[in-house]
Amino acid sequence: MLARAIQENPSDPRVQFYLGSAWAALGQGERAVPLLAAVLETNPRDHLARFRLAIAHELAGDPAEAGRQYQRLVDEAPAWQAPYPRFAQLAIARRQPTLAVDILRRQLGYRSDAEGLAQLALAERMAGASHAKAMARVTEALRRDPRLPAAYTYRAALLLLVDDQAGARRDFLTVLRLDPDNEQAKQAIRALGNAPRISAGAR
């Protein structure tokens, strides 16, 4: 049906949206960007199209433009939760932890959830907060949801910042128990394969 729609009316914004979204889902950001940008020319308030455009810019290797799109999203639709974690992760990747902290605190002002708390713990630590404060925040996240893989991932990252490779490895193993297909955890465990192992009760 989509192929037929593309042939009949390739400039239809609905066609451009679905095709652009499909390219983004396949990791083809450079192909997705012009299609999703065209949708926004027709309807600048299409927040889902802008969200996917931001992701497409990330995939296309343009983090600055992705950040601008995420910023516009959180300004125009501040109660919508979806953009915040990606925007914060992008800020962390770009070595902008203070921005990430601001983004996540803004998100948590609308809805406080365990994953947001855990991500904030890492961002605050990278922005200069103490290890103890960051660990206390991620511990609160795990108290709220002890089966949240992302919280263990963020705690593992905090442990790596103080060179606790054994503790980080243990958390990544927990991630895999909860989410056996988690590629990030698999890669981390391979990288930490030589870390000394300690018993689960040692910490």
Ramachandran angles phi, psi of 55, nearest 5°: -60, -40
Q: Helices 114-126 and 83-93 meet at what angle, rounded to 10?
A: 20
Kindly state whether residue 76 falls inside one of the protein's structural domains: yes
CA distance 141 to 150: 10
Output the CA angle 183-127-113, nearest 5 degrees: 60
pLDDT averaged per 10 residues in sequence order, the chain, 203 residues: 55 91 96 97 96 98 98 97 96 96 96 94 96 97 97 97 96 97 96 59 39
Output phi, psi for 195, to 5 deg: -70, 140
- Output the pLDDT for position 201: 39
In a domain, 166, yes or no: no
Q: What is the pLDDT of residue 202?
A: 39
CA distance 43 to 47: 9
| Residue 43 belongs to some domain of the structure | yes
In a domain, 176, yes or no: no
User: What is d(CA 186, CA 130) in angstroms, rounded to the nearest whole number?
Assistant: 28
The pLDDT assigned to 77 comes to 96
Does residue 192 belong to any structural domain of this protein?
no
d(CA 93, CA 175): 21
List the domain range (segments joined by +) for residue 107: 2-148
Residue 196 lies in a domain: no
What is the domain count for the chain?
Answer: 1
168 found inside a domain: no
pLDDT for res 194: 59
The answer to whether residue 162 sits within a structural domain is no
What's the half-sphere exposure (Cβ side, CA atoms, 13 Å) at 45?
Answer: 1
pLDDT for residue 11: 76
Residue 150, token pair as written in the block: 């992302």
Report the CATH number at residue 95. Answer: 1.25.40.10
